[in-house]
Amino acid sequence: MAFDIEMIKAVYANYPSRVAAARKAVGRPLTLTEKILYAHLTQGEANSPFERGVSYVEFNPDRVAMQDATAQMALLQFMQAGREIVAVPSTVHCDHLIQAETGAEADLKKANDKNKEVYDFLSSVSNKYGIGFWKPGAGIIHQVVLENYSFPGGMMIGTDSHTPNAGGLGMIAIGVGGADACDVMAGLPWELKFPKLIGVKLTGKLSGWTAAKDVILKVAGILTVKGGTGAVVEYFGDGARSLSATGKGTICNMGAEIGATTSIFGYDSKSEIYLRGTERGDIADMANTIKDHLTGDEEVYANPDKYFDQVIHIDLTTLEPHINGPFTPDLAWPLSKFAAAVREHGWPAKLEVGLIGSCTNSSYEDISRAASLAQQAVDKKLVAKSEFTITPGSEQVRFTVQRDGFLDIFENMGGVVLANACGPCIGQWARHGAEKQEKNSIITSFNRNFAKRADGNPNTHSFVASPEVVTAMAIAGDLTFNPMTDSLLNEEGQSVRLEEPSGLEMPTKGFAVEDAGYQAPATDGSRVSVLVDPKSERLQLLEPFKEWEGIDLKGLKLLIKAKGKCTTDHISMAGPWLRFRGHLDNISNNMLIGAQNAFNLETNKVKNQLTGEYGEVPAVQRQYKQHGLGSIVVGDENYGEGSSREHAAMEPRFLGVRAILVKSFARIHETNLKKQGMLALTFANPSEYDLIQEDDKIDILDLADFKPGKPLTVVFNHADGTKNEIKVNHTYNEGQIGWFVAGSALNLIKEEF
Ligand code: SF4
**Is residue 386 within 6 Å of ligand 1 at its C-beta?**
no
**Is residue 184 within 6 Å of ligand 1 at its C-beta?**
no
Determine what percent of the chain falls in helix, strand and coil, rounding each to the nearest 5.
Answer: 40, 20, 40
Whole-number Å distance between alpha carbons of 39 and 16: 8
Tell me the residue type at 407. L
Burial class of 20 by CB neighbour count within 10 A (0 to 12, 13 to 18, 19+): middle
Residue 96 has pLDDT above 50, yes or no: yes
Residue 448 has pLDDT above 80, yes or no: yes
DSSP 8-state secondary structure symbol assigned to residue 113: H
Q: Judge whether 62 and 40 are in contact, CB under 8 Å.
A: yes
Q: Smallest Cα–Cα separation from 8: which of 57, 59, 58, 63?
A: 63
Candidate of 97, 366, 446 to mutate for ligand 1, largest count of ligand atoms within 8 Å of Cβ: 446
**Is residue 355 within 6 Å of ligand 1 at its C-beta?**
no
Hey, CA dihedral for 473, 475, 481, 486, is it positive or negative? negative
For helices 104-114 and 116-129, give the axis angle rounded to 10 degrees. Answer: 80
Residue 2 has pLDDT above 60, yes or no: no
Give the Å distance between the CA of 425 and the centre of ligand 1: 6
Ligand 1 atom index nearest CA of 447? 3
**Is residue 68 within 6 Å of ligand 1 at its C-beta?**
no
**Is residue 159 within 6 Å of ligand 1 at its C-beta?**
no
pLDDT of residue 45: 67
Whole-number Å distance between alpha carbons of 37 and 79: 29
Give the Å distance between the CA of 80 and the centre of ligand 1: 29
- Ligand 1, atom 2, lies closest to the CA of 425
Q: Smallest Cα–Cα separation from 211: which of 246, 237, 235, 238?
A: 246
- Ligand 1, atom 4, lies closest to the CA of 359
Dihedral pair phi/psi, residue 95, rounded to 5°: -130, -25
pLDDT tens for each residue of 104-138: 999 999 999 999 999 999 999 999 999 999 999 99
Q: Could you tell me which residues are beta bridge partners of residue 712?
A: 728
Dihedral pair phi/psi, residue 679, rounded to 5°: -95, 120
Q: Judge whether 599 and 607 are in contact, CB under 8 Å.
A: yes
- Ligand 1, atom 7, lies closest to the CA of 426
pLDDT of residue 675: 94
Candidate of 91, 98, 359 to mutate for ligand 1, largest count of ligand atoms within 8 Å of Cβ: 359
Query: Per-residue pLDDT averaged across 31-40, rounded?
Result: 97
- pLDDT grade for 453, boundaries at 50, 70 and 90: confident
Q: Which residues of 477-496 are buried (b: 16+ CB within 10 A; e: fewer)?
A: bbbbbbbbeeebeeeeeeeb
Question: What is the average pLDDT score of the chain?
Answer: 95
Q: Judge whether 167 and 256 are in contact, CB under 8 Å.
A: no
pLDDT of residue 459: 96
Instruction: Give Cα 580 distance to the centre of its chain.
Output: 19
Q: Could you tell me which residues are beta bridge partners of residue 199?
A: 234, 311
Q: Could you tell me which residues are beta bridge partners of residue 680?
A: 660
Whole-number Å distance between alpha carbons of 717 and 693: 9
Q: Smallest Cα–Cα separation from 199: which of 159, 240, 162?
A: 240
pLDDT of residue 668: 84
Candidate of 91, 93, 447 to mutate for ligand 1, largest count of ligand atoms within 8 Å of Cβ: 447
Whole-number Å distance between alpha carbons of 43 and 31: 21
pLDDT tens for each residue of 313-348: 999 999 999 999 999 999 999 999 999 999 999 999
Give the Å distance between the CA of 161 and the centre of ligand 1: 9
Q: Could you tell me which residues are beta bridge partners of residue 632?
A: 558, 659
Q: What is the CA radius of gyration of the chain?
A: 27
pLDDT of residue 427: 87
Residue 167 has pLDDT above 50, yes or no: yes
Give the Å distance between the CA of 199 and the centre of ligand 1: 26
* Non-local CB neighbours of 302 within 8 Å, separated by 6+ positions: none
Residues with a catalytic annotation lie at: 95-96, 160, 448, 643, 645
Give the Å distance between the CA of 369 and the centre of ligand 1: 21
Residue 361 three-state SS = strand
Burial class of 84 by CB neighbour count within 10 A (0 to 12, 13 to 18, 19+): exposed
Other C-beta atoms closer than 10 Å to the C-beta of 688 total: 17
Whole-number Å distance between alpha carbons of 357 and 383: 21
pLDDT tens for each residue of 627-665: 999 999 999 999 998 777 899 999 999 999 999 999 999
Q: Could you tell me which residues are beta bridge partners of residue 657?
A: 631
Dihedral pair phi/psi, residue 126, rounded to 5°: -65, -45
* For the chain, percent of residues with pLDDT exceeding 90: 92
pLDDT of residue 1: 46
Ligand 1 atom index nearest CA of 142? 5
Residue 670 three-state SS = helix
- pLDDT grade for 292, boundaries at 50, 70 and 90: very high
Q: Smallest Cα–Cα separation from 243: which of 342, 363, 326?
A: 363
Dihedral pair phi/psi, residue 704, rounded to 5°: -65, -20
**Is residue 474 within 6 Å of ligand 1 at its C-beta?**
no
Q: Is the peptide bond before 326 cis (omega within 30 degrees of 0)?
A: yes
**Is residue 425 within 6 Å of ligand 1 at its C-beta?**
yes
**Is residue 645 within 6 Å of ligand 1 at its C-beta?**
no
pLDDT of residue 451: 87
pLDDT of residue 325: 97
- The string of DSSP letters for 206-275 reads --TT--HHHHHHHHHHHHTTTTTBTEEEEEESHHHHHS-HHHHHHHHHHGGGGTBSEEEE---HHHHHHH
Instruction: Give Cα 718 distance to the centre of its chain.
Output: 44
Task: Enumerate long-range contacts of 585-589, CB under 8 Å, 24 or more apart.
Answer: 585/540, 585/654, 586/537, 586/538, 586/540, 587/647, 587/651, 588/618, 588/651, 588/654, 588/655, 589/618
Ligand 1 atom index nearest CA of 165? 4
Give the Å distance between the CA of 359 and the centre of ligand 1: 6
pLDDT of residue 474: 98
Hey, CA dihedral for 280, 284, 285, 286, is it positive or negative? positive
* Non-local CB neighbours of 646 within 8 Å, separated by 6+ positions: 73, 77, 177, 178, 179, 672, 675, 676
Give the Å distance between the CA of 699 and the centre of ligand 1: 46
DSSP 8-state secondary structure symbol assigned to residue 586: H
Give the Å distance between the CA of 486 and the centre of ligand 1: 33
pLDDT of residue 180: 92
**Is residue 422 within 6 Å of ligand 1 at its C-beta?**
yes
Candidate of 145, 360, 426, 429 to mutate for ligand 1, largest count of ligand atoms within 8 Å of Cβ: 426
pLDDT of residue 569: 87
**Is residue 66 within 6 Å of ligand 1 at its C-beta?**
no
Hey, CA dihedral for 649, 655, 656, 659, is it positive or negative? negative
Q: Smallest Cα–Cα separation from 426: which of 91, 100, 71, 112?
A: 100
Tell me the residue type at 552. D
pLDDT of residue 44: 63
- Ligand 1, atom 6, lies closest to the CA of 422
Q: Smallest Cα–Cα separation from 49: which of 194, 190, 173?
A: 194
Whole-number Å distance between alpha carbons of 398 and 511: 10
Query: Per-residue pLDDT averaged across 262-277, rounded?
Result: 98
Give the Å distance between the CA of 431 and the centre of ligand 1: 18
Give the Å distance between the CA of 382 and the centre of ligand 1: 31
Residue 3 has pLDDT above 60, yes or no: no
Query: Per-residue pLDDT averaged across 661-680, rounded?
Result: 94
Candidate of 425, 446, 447, 643 to mutate for ligand 1, largest count of ligand atoms within 8 Å of Cβ: 425
How do 631-635 and 657-662 pair as beta strands?
Answer: parallel
pLDDT tens for each residue of 554-571: 999 999 999 999 999 899
